[in-house]
Structures are given as structure tokens and as C-alpha cells.
Structure 1
Amino acid sequence: MERKRRATVKDVAIEAGVSRGTVSRVLNGQPYVSDEARAAIDAAIAKVGFVPNNAARSLVMQQSKAIGLIVHEPHSLFIEDPNIGAILLGANAALSGADYQLSCLIADTPRDIERLTRYLTGGLIDGVIIVSAREGDPITKAVARLEMPAAFVGHPHDIGDAAYAAIDNRGAAREITRRLVGTGRSRVGMIAAALDRDSGADRLAGFVDALGNDFDPQLVQRVPLYSYSDGQEGMRALLRDHPDIDGVFASSDAVAAGAMEVLQSSGRTVPGDVGVVGFDDSSWALRCDPPLSTVRQPAGELGRVAAESVLAQLRGEDARAHRRMLTCPVVWRGSA
């Protein structure tokens, strides 16, 4: 079967009885076109089935009207972690209001990172929001080299003057650990996840701050990811090596949920034998039984603020004017 020819600007112009230049001005949102001509062009577009060639238009306008959301996490965590979804929705709401398209890009493997680095140079997106960047991240370096409008969700320590939307992970971790200790716990451990990025490292630092001279490094179990399965593995290791543990700070709600499942399966009661606290106040917190004491991370707001920062930079504003720390209160429930 012969492929149907794609309608062109010329076809629209002939159908509407106007010049191609007039059609182009309408398509590009430019002024100096009469209401009658606009109406004729709209009718012609519908009749001939014209669809704008956005790739060609991007070359002419030197903008794609698309913003990339780069999530530097494994595919499995992208699906499991409700914070990532909330960040995505918050960013999308802000971009939709400005008539920009969100393009979601996942960086799981080194090959993904190499491919995305090449993609950034192609002019297919106007700016980026970067989630879960590590220090020394090649994507961060590529964005800096290209001088691309960008905002980070989180605050890696090697981003220079780049914009970010973040929370005080260290301060919040310190506060919730002190509250856990205040319930009478004397052997408090931590399942410390994602120590290769600022959020995980800062939460561990806050835990250390809270315990002061009582900090015991043997009671910290390091795991790779903010995941339920890592919470299970971390809790099994803590119970094996320190069966007298009576309090646990898990560095995310998913990690805490996995830890609670292992504790309860081993015959420990929560909070009777072991008090557990998490971080995020995600949907995981209310799935737990009892409900999880945690820190409320405003994930949707982080996405929105980061997106608005990129849009502001596209308008010519300085990235340094868009460095925001959002509040993250402790939410106390039955798990501790």
C-alpha cells in the first residue's frame, strides 16, 4: 500500500487562500495576522490533516519546548519509589502550565548515561531537571559543559552555582533520630541507603549527629538503594550481628517497610521490642502496620520548584536566584 503523503504548509496555504508566510506566522504564534485569516488557516489545517513538523520547527526557533527529567536510578526503583512519581507529576504540572512538554529519561546503566550525554547535545530539549545525581556524575558534567538550563532535585556538593530544589536531609534525620532515642531506646541502629548521593550521605550524617558520643558504627548497615528489598537485607544483617537492637532509623520509608517485615517475621513487635522510623512520608508509610513515623518530604513540590527554576532560566534569569530549601517536618505515628 502506498504511504499517504504528509500535508505541508503549502497545502494549508492553498486551502486557506493565504501565503505560506501567513501560515507560518500563525503556527509560530506571531502577530499581524487578521482574525479572518487565522480562522481560515485553522479550518484548512483541520481539512488537510496538517501536523506541524516539530523537529524542523525546533531548528528554526532554536527551541524544542521540551524539558528533560533525568532520573539516575535503576529501572526497578523508578517503578517502586513513589517519590519519583510525585516529583515527575509536580514537574509536569509546572511545565504544562507553561506549554512545555516533559521528556522522562532514565539513567540506569553506564550505557544509558553515555547515550543520554550524547542526547543532551542534540538540541532536542531546552533544559533538564536532574534527580538522584551522584557527585562526579557525567550527566552533571555534560550539562555544565553545554551551559544548559538545569535544576537539581537534591543538592549534590559539586554542582557549583546550579539551581536546586532540596530539603535539609541532615537536619531532618537528626531530629527524627533524637525523637526515636527519646522513646527510651538505647541500642539504635540505622539502615543507611544510597550513600553515593547527597540525600543518603546527609541522612547518615544526621543520624551520627543525633547520637553524638553514643554513636556505634557497628550499628550502621549500609545498603545500595532506597528499596524494600534492601530494607529486608539490612534488617536481617542487623539482627544477625546485634540481636539486642531496640531502635532503627531506616533512610527511606520503603527501607523501613522492608525492615519492619523482617522484624515482625522474626517475632519482634513494633514498637514494643523495636521502634522504627523512616524518611519520606510516602505511600509506604501508611502501608506499614503500625503506621510509620517518618519525615515528610514534599516530593511533588520539589518537582514543581525545579521545573519553575528551569523555565526561569530559559527566560534569562540567573540560576543562582533559584536555589530553594523546602521544609520537611517529622510526622510521628505508631511505629516508634
Structure 2
Amino acid sequence: MNRPVTVDDVAKHAGVSIGTVSRVINNAPHVSRKARDAVERAIDELAYVPNKTAQSLAGQRRGSVVLAISSDDPGLFANLFFAQVVTGVNAVVEETDLELQLVLAASDRGRARLSRIFKARAADGVMLLALKENDPLSALAESSGLPVVHGGRSLDSEPRFYVDADNRGGARSAVEYLISLGRRRVATITGSQDQHVGVARYLGYREAVVLAGLDDSRVAHGDFSEAGGAAAMTSLLDRFPDLDAVFVASDAMAAGALSVLAARGVQVPDEVAVVGFNDIVTAQHTTPALTTVRQPIDALGREMTRMLLRLIDGDTPTSLILPTTLVRRESA
């Protein structure tokens, strides 16, 4: 290799988890002889030199990681996006000896709880999700001295370590697809504009429409919720009754938009084509089934956790932007 061999390299070579490699390096118990032998062979074959700093920190570890979400909405996990991210995070954590702590930290009370965890050194690392512009949660985590991985990016600064999806490119491809169908009066329902994801998907819409020489004024702002999508769709139909397509920045909002179109007697896709974003399970069960942009939500959670584990083990991973793909169903 032209770069230093990392714990991740050893884990892949041995066919085991990063946590297993770490336990072998630090002579921790509860490792099978088969796994230990595989790791030791990989270390020899790759000429891996353990990170002494990471080894010295191993004895100080608390055995847990935190997933902090910038929300205090009690209905948060009704949004299947968050449920799928947590599922992905938990799947990787379960491969280690670590415990997962989930903290909803949008309120002062939630952030105070997180601050107590940091001050007590009761965690080995933290993952942040759903940050808003100038979110105090980011500064709190970054000042903790712990490894920090961001799920997505923020509007005010780009974190050093993050995993994100290609939100802008995915949105652009969705709108380009609508235009390829002959739609010329394409509207959008945006996500929250105080979040990077909402702004990125709106910019993707604008790029596609403007490059096609079309009007980009058919816009209504939503909040990623089904109710927000319904309200935004109502506003669009009232202001732009001639629209023939709508790109919606999340599947939850698209479900709300479809309910309004049905109530107004608008035929989908004959009169108005609809494309969402995320490809949560709901997208397959709307009427009609939703054409949408699939982002790898479970993989987002998994890669965030793997990145955090590498930081805990003393490695320096590279931030990731995961690809998106258009999934065609009956709504467009």
C-alpha cells in the first residue's frame, strides 16, 4: 500500500469487524480463537503497526457511542427516514462491544443531557443528525474532545468528518426526468430551508429547471412532514393551477401532496406527475405508487458508525457522499 495500513484494512483483510480487530490488538477478552487467528494473520500479511495512542486510550473507553438528533419531536420516528438511519447505526454497533445512546437534543434540556454525558466522559464518540443552520449541537459536540461524525452537512460550515447523500444531484436528476416526460410547468415542494439537505434539493430543482429554460418560480416551502407537504401542495394549486409536475423533497411530503391532488380531483400522473425523495417503504404504498429518488438510508447509518469507529481506533477516515438513484413507479 502507498498509505499507512489502518484498522479498517486489517478488518477487511481478516473478514471481521473493526471492533474485533481493536479487541485483538488490545488483548481484550471475548474474541473467538478463529477471529483472533484471522486478525493476527492479517496484521502479519499487511505489516500493520498498531496506533499507540489508540491503544493507550482503549483502557479509558466507556463502551458507548452517542447518536444525537437535533429534534425534540415526539413523533420523530413516525418519519421512516430516521427509523432507517437508526437501524443502520445499530446494525454496526451490534458488531462491537459498544452500547448505543440515543439523545434527542434540539431543546436546551436535551443539549444539557448531552453535555452531562460529555463532561462525565461517558461516551467514546458521537454522531450528529438533522442539524440546522447555526445549530448549537454542533459546537457542543465539537468542543467535547470526542470523535465526531456528522450525518449530512450544515449550512454554516462543512464538518471534517461526515457521511451524506448526493441530495443536489439526486434532485436534479428527478427534475430532469420530469422534463424528459414533456412536463414544462414543474413545481417543487422544498424541505426545511434551515437545513443543508433542504437547500441542496431545492438547488438541484432550480439547476434542472433553469438549464432547461423553464420558469423556476413554482415553489412552496415545506418541513419534511406529510402535513407540511399537504399544505404546500394546496398552496401550489391555488397559485399555479396550470402546473403539470411537482418534485417533492421527501416521500413523507409527497404522500401529503398526493392526498391533496386526489381530493382536488387531479389525475396523477396524467395531469400532474409527482416525484419524491428518499424511497422509504411508504413510497411503494401511496396511490399511485411514488416515483422517487432513492438514497441509501440504511447505508448512511452504517457508514456514519463505521467512520466513528475508525476515529475511535485512531484512524483518519475520508468523508463520504453516497450516490442516489431514480426509482420509477406509477406517479411519474
Shorter-chain TM-score above 0.5: yes
Distance (Å, rounded) in 2 between the aligned partners of 1:208 and 1:192? 11
Equivalent positions of 1:113-124 (< 5 A) are: 113-124=111-122
2:327 alignment partner in structure 1? 331
2:93 alignment partner in structure 1? 95
2:231 alignment partner in structure 1? 233
Deviation digits for residues 218-240 of structure 1 (CA, Å, limit 9, x no counterpart): 311012x2111111000011111
Distance 1:160 1:269, change over 3 A: closer
Tell me if the contact between 1:117 and 1:139 (Cα under 8 Å) persists in the aligned partners.
no
How far is 1:284 from its partner?
1.7
The DSSP-based 3-state class of the residue aligned with 2:237 is helix
AA partner of residue 246 (structure 2):
V
Tell me if the contact between 2:132 and 2:155 (Cα under 8 Å) persists in the aligned partners.
no
2:105 to 100, 104, 107: 107
Deviation digits for residues 272-296 of structure 1 (CA, Å, limit 9, x no counterpart): 1110000001012112111111111
Tell me if the contact between 2:268 and 2:274 (Cα under 8 Å) persists in the aligned partners.
yes
The DSSP-based 3-state class of the residue aligned with 1:119 is helix
AA partner of residue 99 (structure 2):
Q
Distance (Å, rounded) in 2 between the aligned partners of 1:165 and 1:187? 34
2:308 alignment partner in structure 1? 310
1:62 alignment partner in structure 2? 60
2:43 alignment partner in structure 1? none
Unaligned runs of 5+ in 1: 1-27, 32-59
Distance (Å, rounded) in 2 between the aligned partners of 1:90 and 1:325? 16
The DSSP-based 3-state class of the residue aligned with 2:330 is coil
Distance (Å, rounded) in 2 between the aligned partners of 1:76 and 1:260? 25
1:249 alignment partner in structure 2? 247
Tell me if the contact between 2:245 and 2:274 (Cα under 8 Å) persists in the aligned partners.
yes
Structure 2 length-normalised TM = 0.79
Matched, 1:179 2:188: no
2:197 alignment partner in structure 1? 199
Tell me if the contact between 1:116 and 1:139 (Cα under 8 Å) persists in the aligned partners.
no
Tell me if the contact between 1:66 and 1:102 (Cα under 8 Å) persists in the aligned partners.
yes
1:291 alignment partner in structure 2? 289
2:144 alignment partner in structure 1? 146
CA-based RMSD? 2.1
Q: Which moved more, 1:100-109 or 1:114-123?
A: 114-123
How far is 1:161 from its partner?
5.0
Distance (Å, rounded) in 1 between the aligned partners of 2:264 and 2:276? 20
Q: How many residue pairs are counted as aligned between the two chains?
A: 279
Distance (Å, rounded) in 1 between the aligned partners of 2:140 and 2:106? 17
Radius of gyration: which is bigger?
1
Tell me if the contact between 1:131 and 1:152 (Cα under 8 Å) persists in the aligned partners.
yes
Deviation digits for residues 302-326 of structure 1 (CA, Å, limit 9, x no counterpart): 10110011111111112xx231111
Distance (Å, rounded) in 2 between the aligned partners of 1:76 and 1:281? 23
How far is 1:271 from its partner?
0.3
